[in-house]
Structure 1
């Protein structure tokens, strides 16, 4: 189970009391996390999620809280931080920063169809439109510079084919870094995988896990989503699902010519980001009872993205 900091009932009860949400009925760890400790918490006042922040600098936590407040105000279904009676949103539990948030309805979709993908595209467009005029600045700790810095050392643990593939991708990132960073910007989720999206029936009912959120090129969010939501079992792109996602997004925010030109590159960038981060996680948590996602999944996707035939729709 991916709970890095276990909790005792008595300490959780003491933490929850200032929220005025009634008696603690039950709580359980959530196994799906890979970076933070998450718990489902059942109280007389409803169902909630408690997150203990295990990774990342403490100074970034006010950013996450403010961003989720902005998105909640824009009527996006997100797990914004609840306040205590004294107005506190960020508190401490078991020596870790802690947030209590409403538990959103719905469940994850493991085999998305074109409708699910169009819902994801529409949600991403709403996120970007809600933030692009007043971007909350946070630099990603897994951005282009991180890839260029960490990639060469991580390549040393790969076979010859993997080294060649990664070096080719890093060279492209270095060459196009300035153009990528000049693309239209907003706040990004930056981790919009299937296990971070909830559906209630056919309707997208919530998006969770904003702890990789940052400011950056909106196209990057699209590339991350397409690489997870719109792929076949072997990692190749499913054109029907990808077009549904991109068209739904473009209906709310049309793409620019620069975005259309850099789209294939951005798909590769998104592959590199998750290949490298999964290599790091696999090494850090080897032999531990922690969910580790397969780094080779994104190695295969990067290999397949060397040639991209899928174009952005309606580029203006």
Structure 2
């Protein structure tokens, strides 16, 4: 999350007249992330998150916001969009689509233990099952077509060895996506961006982790469940200095996920392909943000080399651990 479009206290006070949230007490920008403008919003009725969408259109947002509402109503701890007096969950503010969602409790855990990874894996499985009943469909907009398009834009900035890796992996994933194995994998609504900073954990008296919720669903889409799991594993279970998966964390997450949604033999057989696909997706997005930055107010591009390392390790990864 970040701030690209400024909102004054006077503007938000007038805009909130369409909601039954009471008087504005505080509005504070959130200085992290790379896609939307986000603010902590406190009113007489509680704490919320205000998001102004910088690139997404109302038609796309209909899917994201209603998916969040569906999951919240099915017991998954996610931000719940707030209706205005007319029943709308999306409006316009300063020329941008804007929404208010409930604020989850807790803090991001940037140095997760296996216990944190287990809780994330279990809730991800529950989210996949809850999403089965969601009636809307939108593909993952950051899947293979986007990878191919983005690769052509960033390729000129890369040295020879990185260009070779990118070209080879695009070819590999194109063949994989065209296979009967890929098309037979279970699918449904997925978060597609469940990184450490998109999950909150609450503090407890005995210091044991308690998952507070998942948020930032604005890259969500209908995709393979295995892809969503691989995206999550690549971030939560990798060593930040080397990009290698930490086996204790990996096993904790896979154990917890499979206790709720057992992986099929077909999914196990394609685990390495999905680890690579998940790494490629985020290597490309970081390359794009690094080499083709947009105007920004509070923006800190991530280092693309981290996901390059994860991708190279993924190419050599063993099959999924049998657990």
TM-score (norm 1): 0.95
2:227 alignment partner in structure 1: 220
Give distance in 2, aligned partners of 1:152 and 1:35: 21
CA deviation string 1:234-271 (max 9, x = no partner): 11000110111011000001111111111001001111
Q: How far did residue 171 of structure 1 move?
A: 1.7
2:159 alignment partner in structure 1: 159
1:236 alignment partner in structure 2: 244
The answer to whether the 8 Å contact 2:191/2:221 transfers is: yes
2:196 alignment partner in structure 1: 194
Q: Check 1:135–1:115 CA distance in 2 against 1; reply closer, same or farther (3 A cut).
A: farther
Q: How far did residue 55 of structure 1 move?
A: 1.6
- Aligned-residue RMSD, C-alpha: 1.6
Give distance in 2, aligned partners of 1:213 and 1:277: 15
The answer to whether the 8 Å contact 1:246/1:313 transfers is: no
> What is the SS of the residue equivalent to 1:282?
helix
TM-score (norm 2): 0.93
The answer to whether the 8 Å contact 2:268/2:319 transfers is: no
1:266 alignment partner in structure 2: 274
Give distance in 2, aligned partners of 1:38 and 1:44: 19
The answer to whether the 8 Å contact 1:81/1:101 transfers is: yes
The answer to whether the 8 Å contact 2:57/2:97 transfers is: no
* Bigger Cα displacement from structure 2, 148-157 vs 63-72: 148-157
The answer to whether the 8 Å contact 1:250/1:313 transfers is: no
> What is the SS of the residue equivalent to 1:215?
strand
2:132 alignment partner in structure 1: 132
Q: How far did residue 313 of structure 1 move?
A: 3.8
> What is the SS of the residue equivalent to 1:101?
strand
The answer to whether the 8 Å contact 1:135/1:187 transfers is: no
* Bigger Cα displacement from structure 2, 213-222 vs 9-18: 9-18
The answer to whether the 8 Å contact 1:275/1:295 transfers is: yes
2:206 alignment partner in structure 1: none
1:282 alignment partner in structure 2: 290
Say if 2:318 is the partner of 1:309.
yes
Within 5 Å, give how 1:1-316 maps onto structure 2. Answer: 2-134=2-134, 136-178=136-178, 179-201=181-203, 202-232=209-239, 233-285=241-293, 288=296, 289-309=298-318, 311-314=320-323
The answer to whether the 8 Å contact 1:50/1:100 transfers is: yes
The answer to whether the 8 Å contact 1:25/1:43 transfers is: yes
* Bigger Cα displacement from structure 2, 69-78 vs 145-154: 145-154
* Bigger Cα displacement from structure 2, 225-234 vs 137-146: 137-146
Give distance in 2, aligned partners of 1:2 and 1:51: 9
Q: How far did residue 141 of structure 1 move?
A: 1.8
Q: Check 1:135–1:311 CA distance in 2 against 1; reply closer, same or farther (3 A cut).
A: farther
Q: How far did residue 204 of structure 1 move?
A: 0.7
Q: How far did residue 65 of structure 1 move?
A: 1.7
Give distance in 2, aligned partners of 1:257 and 1:61: 35
Q: How far did residue 135 of structure 1 move?
A: 5.4
Q: Check 1:156–1:200 CA distance in 2 against 1; reply closer, same or farther (3 A cut).
A: same
CA deviation string 1:186-215 (max 9, x = no partner): 100000000000000211111110000000
Give distance in 2, aligned partners of 1:256 and 1:188: 18
Structure 2 runs not aligned, ≥5 long: 204-208
The answer to whether the 8 Å contact 1:247/1:313 transfers is: no
Give distance in 2, aligned partners of 1:83 and 1:287: 31
Give distance in 1, aligned partners of 2:124 and 2:158: 34
